[in-house]
Amino acid sequence: MKIEGLGEFLPGAVQPQKNKPLENENFGNTLTNFIKDVNQSQVDSAEMVKDFVSGNGIELHEVMIAGEKAKTNLDMLMEIRNKAVDMFKELTRMPI
């Protein structure tokens, strides 16, 4: 029996990309892209709140999900920043 992933049954799940060539993406580009994604989730959340208040057919649960997603993304970004600062402090304490 072949075991399949649940991704095909979940409508909003991220599907793994197959046969994608490996790219040499450095940490700076990855971090920049993540910051852009966090900013976009914040903007999307604010727009959903405006649409909900305006009565444009947005449900409350959609607003709450977008808000929590934006909050979680921002919390993760802050943790990455804290770890990077800690790493820099440790590196500056190392003897040469």
Count: domains in the chain:
1
Residue 69 class from Cβ within 10 Å (0-12 exposed, 13-18 middle, 19+ buried)? middle
Judge whether 17 lies within some domain: no
| Spatial CA neighbour of 46 closest among 33, 29, 58 | 58
Q: What is the DSSP string of 59-77?
A: -HHHHHHHHHHHHHHHHHH
Q: Give the residue numbers spanning the domain of 79.
A: 31-96
pLDDT at 74: 95
Judge whether 10 lies within some domain: no
pLDDT at 2: 61
pLDDT, block means (10 residues), the chain with 96 residues = 59 58 75 93 95 92 95 95 94 87
Judge whether 15 lies within some domain: no
Judge whether 18 lies within some domain: no
Judge whether 7 lies within some domain: no
State pTM to two decimals.
Answer: 0.67
Which tokens sit at 22?
């490996």
pLDDT at 82: 96
pLDDT at 95: 83
Residue 28: count of CB within 10 angstroms of its CB? 8
